[in-house]
Chain A
């Protein structure tokens, strides 16, 4: 209320009154006239909280939804039904050879706060700091070596070995954002993560307000010289649970949201008024993870018993009303490296599971399963609990809120990883198999590799996979990597889910990626 009163003055009151009156006189419905009078505000739901606004150290895709709007990248994803990119901060960019990419920056992009114009030095600083400061998401840059500066606006990104995913993973996404060297060095002293306090902005919007777990407000960047985005303000509301988000949409709190697969059919047959529903396949992958280093799960026979006892279609029936497809690994269909089938049949086999358990010679096994405090994950955990009880394994469910859950297996966050046993996991994906596998190299143990899976051969394949440009040859590498993951017994792949979204047609024309993820910058008001 204080904010509303604070922003209300005579001018805004007169302006709003005039716009409202004009709108009503022009025959516009009253609700539309009120909306027009408020200014163009985009109210959208993000499916995750904002953990950091430092793109070189991003945690979740919720972070990227915001960083996309407040910083620039050399290139950005193009909205539409096919994966592709278009120029953003770069005027020109080309692959000189398999290990060199030359870029030429557009002139006149400035950082806010008097930190000057964006130059090739900022690009070099932004890309190299991810490796230099050992960012948890450094696999996104693969074998990046350094960035050469040719002049103020021109530079060359140099890789030690070819890095095929650079166009799909690195440049248009998180680590591709360009921050101000001057501002970051002044703020941090050494160029490390600046967390939730961006020292300067370089995108069409600036951060006006961020309240953790409540909302993020972005307003137009007055210093932005590029094409103006359609909305004056973007309000991003983090709602983890899809069903809660559906209710928020119906209540008018948000005008864009993902729909749960479970309620997709119902919403589609009876959509809310003035709503368009889009169906997208997802690049997200879900699995049951097992901590190999936990004493109760050290024996591979126990892990295999669990793999074989889990009946995936049953889980999908319960959690997704049978609307989701069974996963064969971490690489989804339509991406190079997708396996036709998993090594273990989706239905599992209880007799085989019992055989493995007998081999392990354990009885009265009590395990815990961690999951997010959301209906889908809780349903998955309860179904797994029931399934494992059939082979005599008792499972206790630990439901955790997102802040607690997403630090469970992270060694730098404490010792909770030692207690972790089973977990209902999901990661978001990008259109490259590297992004669906690189989290399980040995470097990532205790970072994002919570199963603590280790394989020298897997690491070799991971390094090799990014150098191959022939899709057929590349696919073989990623097939083998997923085989190794499954053979370790630490993974039971579940599904890729789905990504139906809905938006209010009276408010916007939405812009999404082929997997349904929103590109807020490209949303247009109507």
Chain B
């Protein structure tokens, strides 16, 4: 009852295996391909940022302050004379780090709690649901601002806030999927053959809930990038002088009349990253979600 294998026809599997079939379907989705290219470019620029930057992104040079784009400074300089291009490239690391750490933490915790809620006793399910709903009942941006006011602005605070607010969503999805599987006949058969809870969860239930979860996570990445940039824009994200898209946008906003390239340098990467991850997420959803598959 693994979703991926159940969707492949016998000929597909014989010709190229599950991955080949996935690639074949993915290539048909042009928007998805554009998204994948953007994501690859952004991730690559984050990984290889130290080799791509043309200047030290934190080095202050008062001389070329707010300089326009030139051969020396491709996207000009900010109010402290720092190279904006280098800051934008290095700045890609923070949102991607925030997204990967916060969402993987939320996923891990949500998965465990969701499985417990879905497979555990009713009272524990009710208790966990109460916790999930309590966390979700706070407007996320207000919750973020309150948490950061308590913890102080830092990347760790941003990650903690995003992980905390995302976790209940994943946990609820896992719980619903687990509950659905729990009462199915094949689980009852497994149980009658003497399989323990751990085996049932690990071998049967987990693979079935992972697919929808991965789609959910990929769709959440752009939201996390936007939240992280938003908090940094408000001065509640990473601390100066760490390069970050939101911080660049904030610097640029103060000089928008004179030096629009600062806002462009901070804004364009956010747009491209959110578009890239959204396109990619939607393509994955189209492929993995049976209700939306075009070939069904």
Contacts and interface: CB of A to CB of B under 8 A. Distances in A.
Contacts of B257: 263, 266
A379 B66 CA distance: 13
Nearest to A375: B254
Interface in B72-88: 79-81
B9 interface: no
B239 A317 contact: no
Given A373-B235, A375-B79, A382 B62 contact: no
Contacts of A266: 257-258
Contacts, number: 54
Interface string A376-414: 001101110110000000001111010010000000000
A241 B255 CA distance: 12
Q: Does more than half of chain A's interface fall in helix, strand or loop, or is it mixed?
A: helix
B149 A318 contact: no
Given A266-B258, A318-B65, A378 B149 contact: no
Nearest to B242: A397
A382 B235 contact: no
A268 interface: no
B153 A398 contact: yes
B249 to A, nearest CB: 13
A311 B257 CA distance: 29
Nearest to B241: A382
Interface string A228-249: 0000000000000101000100
B20 interface: no
Contact of A385 (B153, B234, B241, B256): B241
B153 A399 contact: yes
Contacts of B153: 398-399
Nearest to B58: A386
A49 to B, nearest CB: 16
B254 A383 contact: no
B240 A378 contact: yes
B211 interface: no
Nearest to A242: B254
A243 B79 CA distance: 13
A488 interface: no
Nearest to A396: B239
Interface string B145-187: 0000100110000000000000000000000000000000000
Contacts of A373: 234-235
A495 to B, nearest CB: 15
B60 interface: yes
Nearest to A246: B257
Given A318-B81, A382-B240, 15 more contacts: A247-B256, A263-B257, A314-B62, A318-B60, A373-B235, A375-B251, A378-B240, A379-B79, A383-B80, A386-B60, A396-B239, A397-B239, A399-B240, A401-B235, A404-B149
Q: 5 tightest A-B contacts by CB?
A: A373-B235, A243-B254, A375-B254, A317-B62, A386-B60
Interface of A: 241, 243, 247, 262-263, 266, 314, 317-318, 321, 373, 375, 378-379, 381-383, 385-386, 396-399, 401, 404
27 contacts: A243-B255, A263-B258, A266-B257, A314-B62, A317-B65, A318-B60, A318-B62, A318-B65, A318-B79, A321-B65, A375-B254, A378-B240, A379-B79, A379-B80, A382-B80, A382-B240, A382-B241, A385-B240, A385-B241, A386-B58, A386-B241, A397-B240, A397-B241, A398-B153, A399-B235, A399-B239, A399-B240
